[in-house]
């Protein structure tokens, strides 16, 4: 059952205060970002003539340490364009358990690119040896592996950071095997912030990288796909094929430029608030949480209280204005972001204690 989808169809109840922890995608552009959008210089991007989009793409490529970048409407399109550009129908792609690219993108990996996902590891991360166990060599019988996908941070894994050593070893092995590597870096700046490293320490190992502007960075729309000039040239055709060519979208790009300039450093605040909320959850009866896995801005916890499941707890919290997202029968996800401050975390903890205490 799609527990998150079921919860999304339920409207938030009216309460004295609302703290929306369903996702960092619910963030709204603030006054300064809106001013940047209103004053954006625009042109026709399909002709390559939107100066704001061109500026954003150059900035993204520079940040990721790549030659070129392409603005996309969404992270899903970024991932699927990357997969389609790197692969051919009938091949296979290695990905971690529960990866967004095959589990949460409407089956596009098979419907659009015609490739088979091969799962490696547990909890979203995997090692070089686990990658090799999932690898399919060229054979008349097998879906030959052509791509390895890493998601960092890993959404379904609870925002865990993919270890840098494993990234280096996996991408190195991919080069040796003659296959490509793609980073689904929707929240890669969260990973870099938590590790206190330049994001290029992570992105530099991959043939292609995608990252979202519309999550923790707080822009309303958009994602960037980065790679070599040759790769981005091929990706541009696939973006057009999938309907991702936009016109005067510099209004959206301006928000992304503002976000990359101003909202990366503040991600540490979200991590601190997530850690505080997680500690409070760990002290409540009927809740099971692994604090070691709360590494960035995502918390996943299990509901173990007798007579209560994730959906019933979701409803009880929703009635008091605290919004979270059921992800299975017994698990709930909470995500901190720039629209939830310390007061919001205090209120969420107060409500949780009242409901579960």
The beta-strand segments (E) located in the chain are 19-20, 68-72, 92-96, 116-120, 145-151, 180-184, 208-212, 223-227, 287-288, 298-303, 322-323, 325-326, 331-335
Prior bond of 153 cis (ω within 30°): yes
**Same structural domain for residues 68 and 161?**
yes
State the CATH number of the domain containing residue 83. Answer: 3.40.640.10
Q: What's the predicted TM-score (pTM) here?
A: 0.94
Determine whether 91 is exposed, middle or buried from the number of CB atoms within 10 Å of its CB (0-12, 13-18, 19+): buried
The residue among 262, 288, 311 that closes a domain is 262
Query: In this predicted model, what pLDDT tens digit does every residue of 80-138 receive, in sequence order?
Result: 999 999 999 999 999 999 999 999 999 999 999 999 999 999 999 999 999 999 999 99
**pLDDT bracket for residue 9 (50, 70, 90):** low
* Same domain assignment for residues 327 and 194: no
The stretch 279-290 carries a mean pLDDT of 97
For the stretch 215-244, pLDDT in tens is 999 999 999 999 999 999 999 999 999 999
Same structural domain for residues 236 and 289? no
Task: Give pLDDT, residue 301.
Answer: 98
pLDDT digits (tens, 9 = 90+) for 300-351: 999 999 999 999 999 999 999 999 999 999 999 999 999 999 999 999 999 9
Domain boundary residue, one of 244, 262, 280: 262
Number of domains making up the chain: 2
**Residues 280 and 348 both lie in one domain:** yes
Joined together, the tokens standing for residue 345 give 């975390």
* Selection from 262, 272, 160 nearest residue 219 by Cα: 262
Domain boundary among 262, 291, 318: 262
Let me know whether 160 and 238 are in one domain.
Answer: yes
Distance CA 118, CA 133 (A): 10
Domain span at 179: 31-262
Q: Do residues 61 and 199 make contact, with C-beta atoms less than 8 angstroms apart?
A: no
pLDDT confidence of residue 357: 81
């Amino acid at each position: 059952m799609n527990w998150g989808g079921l919860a999304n169809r339920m409207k938030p109840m009216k309460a004295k205060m609302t703290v929306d922890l369903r996702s960092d995608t619910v963030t709204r552009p603030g006054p300064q970002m809106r001013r940047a959008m209103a004053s954006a210089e625009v042109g026709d991007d399909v002709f390559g003539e939107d100066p704001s989009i061109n500026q954003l793409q150059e900035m993204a490529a520079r940040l990721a340490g790549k030659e070129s970048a392409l603005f996309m409407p969404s992270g899903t399109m970024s991932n699927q364009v990357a997969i389609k550009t790197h692969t051919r129908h009938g091949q296979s792609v290695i990905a971690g358990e529960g990866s967004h690219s095959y589990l949460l993108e409407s089956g596009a990996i098979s419907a659009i690119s015609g490739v088979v996902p091969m799962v490696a590891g547990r909890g979203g991360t995997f090692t070089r040896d686990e990658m090799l166990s999932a690898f399919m060599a060229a054979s008349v019988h097998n879906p030959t592996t052509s791509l390895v996908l890493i998601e960092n941070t890993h959404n379904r894994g609870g925002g865990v950071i993919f270890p840098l050593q494993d990234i280096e070893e996996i991408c190195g092995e991919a080069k040796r095997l003659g296959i490509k590597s793609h980073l689904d870096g929707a929240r890669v700046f969260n990973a870099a912030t938590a590790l206190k490293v330049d994001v290029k320490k992570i992105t530099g190992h991959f043939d292609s990288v995608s990252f979202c502007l519309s999550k923790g960075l707080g822009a309303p729309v958009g994602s960037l796909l980065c790679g070599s000039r040759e790769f981005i040239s091929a990706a541009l055709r696939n973006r057009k094929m999938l309907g991702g060519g936009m016109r005067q979208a510099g209004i959206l790009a301006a928000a992304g430029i503002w976000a990359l300039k101003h909202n990366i450093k503040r991600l540490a605040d979200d991590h601190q608030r997530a850690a505080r909320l997680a500690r409070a959850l760990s002290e409540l009866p009927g809740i099971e949480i692994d604090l070691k896995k709360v590494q960035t801005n995502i918390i996943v916890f299990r509901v173990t209280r007798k007579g209560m499941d994730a959906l019933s707890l979701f409803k009880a919290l929703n009635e008091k204005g605290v919004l979270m997202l059921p992800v299975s029968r017994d698990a709930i996800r909470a995500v901190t972001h720039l629209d939830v401050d310390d007061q919001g975390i205090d209120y969420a903890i107060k409500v949780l204690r009242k409901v579960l205490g």
